[in-house]
Amino acid sequence: MLTTLIVIATALLLLATIRTRATASGTDWESSYRYAHAAAKRYRAQRDDLQLRLTQRVLQLRELRRSLQSRKLDVVHRPDSMEAIRLASIAYDVSYGLLERRARCETGGSFSRYSKNRYSTASGLFQFLYPSTWNRTPYRDESVWSPYANALAAAWMERNGHGGEWTCR
């Protein structure tokens, strides 16, 4: 017990000596602690602010991605053959009625962009021979199954004097 008291007293004396020396040499431990604590608080506040801004930005990006994906699905996954024919007739100043009648005849009235002739390579909304006739159009790099590319290619052919290549008039 006496040994424990001596050890405690020695530790207290040593601590008092260190504190006295530190104060005497110009180092104020308490103010250093306060400075470090304030710096740590500032750092945490900056970190929390940055985290909040980053989280908000991520949520904005997710919302934008959702919005763009739904628009992409409308264009890519729901093409409308009649709209494609209307746009092609306007783009090339070709009669809408002519293009509509030709597409009706070529697809058997279904206006399906996936129409395929079982006896030849004729494919798509306007039954282009693939690849021979299709490759002569400016839309050869697009899919023959795209109603927009198919209608634009048909209007282009009609505008450039190749409308007689279809048996459907």
pLDDT tens by residue, 23-81:
444 556 677 778 777 878 888 888 888 888 888 888 888 888 887 776 655 545 456 89
Q: What is the pLDDT of residue 88?
A: 93
Of all residues in the chain, what percent carry a pLDDT higher than 70? 76
Is 63 exposed, middle or buried, given 0-12, 13-18 or 19+ CB atoms closer than 10 A? exposed
Question: What are the C-alpha distances in Å from 164 to residues 5, 104, 113, 133, 167?
Answer: 115, 16, 21, 13, 7
Among 80, 166, 158, residue whose Cα is nearest residue 122: 166
Q: What is the mean pLDDT of residues 102-131?
A: 91
Q: Specify the range with the lowest mean pLDDT, choosing from 2-11, 58-67, 83-92, 125-134.
A: 2-11
Residue type, 142: E
Tokens coding 84: 């494609």
Please check whether residue 105 is in contact with residue 168, taking contact to mean a CB–CB distance below 8 angstroms.
yes
Which tens digits make up the pLDDT trace of 145-168? Answer: 999 999 999 999 999 999 888 877
pLDDT above 50: residue 8: yes
SS3 (DSSP) at 147: helix
Tokens of 20: 């006295």
- What token pair was written down for 169? 């008039």
CA distance 24 to 35: 20
Nearest to 85 by CA among 133, 155, 143, 141: 155
How would residue 19 be classed by pLDDT, with cut points 50, 70 and 90? low
Q: Determine the Cα–Cα distance for residues 113 and 144; give it in Å rounded to an integer.
A: 9
81-165 topology per CATH = Lysozyme (1.10.530)
Query: Are residues 98 and 164 in contact, defined by beta-carbon separation less than 8 angstroms?
Result: no
What amino acid occupies position 74? D
Q: Which residue has the tokens 């634009």?
A: 152
